[in-house]
Structure 1
Amino acid sequence: MSNELSVIRQRFIEGDVQVASMLPSAIRESWLRCADQTLPMSGKLEYSFIRPDLLDQLKYQNEELLTVSNRHVEQLFRAVAGAGWSVLLTDQDCNALQVRQANRLSNSRIAQAFKDGIMLNENVVGTTAMSCAVNSKKFSRVFGGEHYKEQHNTFHCAAAPVFDHMGRLCASLDITNEHSINDMAVFYMLETCARNIQKSLILNLSDTYVIEIIPSSGQFGDITNLLLAITPEGKMVGCNEAASTFISDQRRFFDTWFDGLFSSDFQLVTSKRAANGEPFYLTLHSGVTLASRIIRTPQAAPVKHTSQFNYPATVEIKPESQTTFGDEQLTKSVQRGARVLNRLPVMLYGESGVGKEVTARHLHDASQCRGKFISINCASIPENLIESELFGYQAGAFTGADKNGFKGRIAEADKGTLFLDEIGDMPLALQSRLLRVLETREVSPLGSSKEHKVDFQLICATNVNLEQAIDEGRFRQDLYFRLKGFAIPIKPLRERDDKLAIAATIVNADCQHKQSLSAEVKRFIQCYNWPGNIRELRNVLLYADAIGDETTLIQMDELPDEYQTCQTCVSQPAISTSAQPMGSGRLLDQASQELINQVVEDCSGNMSQAAKTLGISRATLYRKLAKERSDSALN
């Protein structure tokens, strides 16, 4: 802690609250709020945790946020964990929802504070980066003694607010380090991650056009671009922060229509050319013209569904799904599954991460069903809530029930497809209710004796042996035979021959900078066991895309650290040391840490230039420097 900050803290403790004006505004306001609550700056701080049952409810209430943000938070963590950063996602009240601790964490206080369900509200733990970000609705950095509580003086934190699909504050994203690393690149990644979460929430809206608008001389795909979600009727139902700031006052945006913002004809948005992703121009009423494109189109409107296999000739046939399956046997099974889906339930078998939900969505798209795809993870919903989630409830059915009631996810799947993921984890008591619904095609909400007809296609998925679960009394045999209509086994990635094709698809679809794989990475992908299957492969490639060099080729040293020791199967031709130029990767093996530091100093801190001089990628250079800091802290 600097001498100046120590003096500020001491004078503040002594009652001179005016001295807080020397602090950044968000921190100053937080200190003053803490002082108003007579919260002491010193003394032992005992952390409090949300009760497990209440935490389950809290996570259920934030299910969409957690589902959408998981990939982005994991990607951020993989990018910054090597430099000692832990990552924390909270709700808007600073209750921890997702926690990822950095490896080799020596600060026990950070380890105590970064736990699932911990309450980090300002009125309990004082000033934090999360509380500053939530209250200011801006990126906030709180390092060392800037924390109100003395116990947090060894924390070095930064946080960004997370906004929902309508630009309303819904969460905060925090990174914390035990070392004072003022890394602007890491802070940029943090803010980008928060923006990407909001973008995914907008793209997750059903039955909407999502328009990307370039506000100035940028290009499509920039994180600073405007995003607008518009219904087929022309009503605005979603926007990112950039859009709400650029186009309309936040408070008025909820009742805004397309023609209230633009003088352009709405048919520009609904045209076939726009649906194909071709750019077009929208003109504001002020006369400003903006380059735009559609990045998501609404689902086709539902039509009357029949349980017969042959659809009426008047129904327009949907185009075939573009999802591809490199495995020939899987492709045949999926094609057959799509043909029988509206007659028989389909069961997907496979390990976690093999792509069961992707396969289920493909089946829905290929089946010619016109309704919605409703996905329910039977393992993620708390047991005390799954019944109301599946079957719905009447108004006043139980304490805390919505005054308008809830129709239930099964009813929402009417005329569509119901996907029950991890069906083997469904509580035994609910299996009998599900069996009755499948047999009668009727559902009764909690608190009601009235039955409602439902008509849906059914897809289930499991990673457990259901026959064994039956033997152990955990799964009903009659339900098993009711669900066992058409089975599709999905091989684990280690047994598939199309690993490189899958990797190429991931790179093309999800990577922002990288475009292809090096020969060494290809060999690694082919021989690695991939216990996490396609999900693990995707995370590895996204990590390389996030932290890798500027080149478009994914190199082996850009993969996460734990994969660097898995190269025994990656054979390379021997290279003579004497034939190596000084700019090669072997320079790093021969160099001392002092030489690395000297090169960085000679390059005036320019990491790209230093990495080029050493003959390594920036990712490797950052890892070496982070390791040096970690080793220094332990000595």
Structure 2
Amino acid sequence: MTFMKHDQGTSGIQEIYCTINRELLSRERWQAILRCKQDFLQNEAEDPSKYPYMDQEVAASWIRSRRRGVNPYSVVTNSNLTPEELAGILNKNRRLIDATRSLADSFKEIIMACGYILYLFDKNGVILLNEGSLESFASLPEFDSRTGLLVNEDSEGTTAHELCLRLKRPVQLLGPEHYCVAFQNSIASAAPIKNNNGQIQAALVFVSQPLLNTPEEETLRKIGPHSLGLVTALAVVLETQLRLNMAGNLLSEANEQVSIYQRQIQIANDKFITIHSALDTALNCMDEGVVTIDPNGQILHINPAGMRILKLRPDEVSSRNINEFLGSNSCLMLLAKKGENITVEERLLVGNDRYFYHINIRPVVQQSTQDLELAVLKFSSEKVSAQQNNKSGSMAVCTFEGIVSENKDFIKGLELAKRFARSPENILVTGESGTGKELYAQAIHNVRCPQGPFMAVNCAAMPRELIESELFGYEGGSFTGAERSGRPGKIELAHGGTLFLDEIGDMPLELQAVLLRTLEDKQIMRVGGSRYKKVDFYLIAATNKNLYQMVKENLFREDLYYRLSVLTLTIPPLRERGNDIKLLSEHFIENYCRKHGWNIPRLSPAAQKKITEYQWPGNVRQLQNTMIYAVNTVQGDVIKPENLPDFILMETCPLKVEDIKNGNKHVGDMLCLENLEKAAIETALLHANNYVPDAAEILGISRSTLYRKLKDYDIEY
């Protein structure tokens, strides 16, 4: 079986490429297939796909035909359709039949001289038209016409048109490849005919006159390429003619006279110019930048707002490429080529400045190939500097692969989180401070919507009077100190991505009702605003508090709790993770040293014992900061107990409680937990030069927790 590649695009029939291997049209192959056919018909156990020279598609069709009980010695000669069914089919395909008959008349001399029979089949195998003489086929009792017969794999087995329609490409069958013996001395070539939507609606077939049982090489090489090339070319011409006829019919219906037609073209052209001018004017009035690019990123058109964003002059637009302004890790062009309508957050490199923009990608693709023709990019007018973006926590760098553990219970919870990540429902992550709740949130985000923004909000760290404007944004002039142009809130900036609300238990009750309405309606109104704006985001909330108990105590809204806790994950504290303490210690040491290019020290058994015995109230975050402290104080290649922070050494002191009670009162006072905690805080402040955020990081606790403890212990800073 041989075939041509035959493509049809939106702008017309494209280039036709034909490759026919000489070995496929050899006398040797003909004879081999004929022997295989004879063995196959005589022995039901024969598998034709194992024979040399056999095409696998043909072999599969033979097997299907035999299973369906098709008689290889029978030819469809009687109509298997009712007159009403046939009339409906012919009427439905009238334009196709007329165009094919007209085309056949033009090539009738060639068809007759070559002894071909031309068939036109609809997509179901009904013969709509046949031209040429059937007299040379002795097995066909009716010589006039076979029009109206349903010929498919169920009735005649393997045929060129059946494989052509099934494989959606031009096909040529050598005589013995036909399942029906009546055609085993003929070469049949078929090509698909597509409609305006690129769907196959029919097949055009040339069947040669019967050849000798085994034709000569020269005959095969003349008939094969000639008939396949001719039928494919005619199919292309026919598709073009049908489109032209359809266009001509539409034009003739709309234009009774040539002068009117020309006038309408002129009117349409004037309207096109007007619409283009209006569109250009509309784009010029937009505050948001709009850039049109080709598949390579070359800028085709840009409005004035876009030129301001990219700092371009009108005379240099056509020579610039959007890739010049994107970071090396940008996925914008990849998403555009995939044909995805999506909004992404991209970093723009404009001169020496770095800005983050929300860019709406609208690709325009070819209908037949789905290849990108061009893409329209809309830049949000609200840019966020890289520094502001990092402060807002909008970079999700952690993945599930980066979370380290050997603890069975922890790994079980991690697998559950991976399953939850594939769900669109809200997720509540619970656990003590420092257990890695935000890492879980980032990993879930990088599974759900890695191309979207990740907006992290710590509900405990924001002042009560500002949290609403931070979450929902505000319009210009809403309150004293508000920016003139207004500012989007974290929820609005999370559109198309994930909103992570950390310490959700500290959210004011009055604001919980507003958040609940946002989750239900998926829309927000800025502070001082008058209209709602649609938002689409995933929500992940986290807390180290018992929200269920808070609901009982009327400290947290019950309806919001059940909305947040559709899927709940609980992260165990580090002290319950067994050998993970040692594993994570070594992991943090190695990562920190590799980052700075230092030699990697090892933990001494004594230091490891201290680390294992400590309870780690600050959990993983505290352990990481402890290892950083140890690496920075180590002398040599071994971390010893003296390289660990004082609070670990004091808490892991081997003195017994009874000894302390009965012994030196000074020692008892020194080892009191409150005194140890106060000493640890004062030490951290000393190391951080009284800068609270750094001190909180050293201690492995949140800033809000540290502020509270500073007030409790009356520590000045």
| Structure possessing the higher radius of gyration over alpha carbons | 2
TM-score, normalization by structure 2 = 0.35
TM-score, normalization by structure 1 = 0.40
Ranked by relative contact order (alpha carbons within 8 Å, sequence separation 6 or more), the top structure is 1
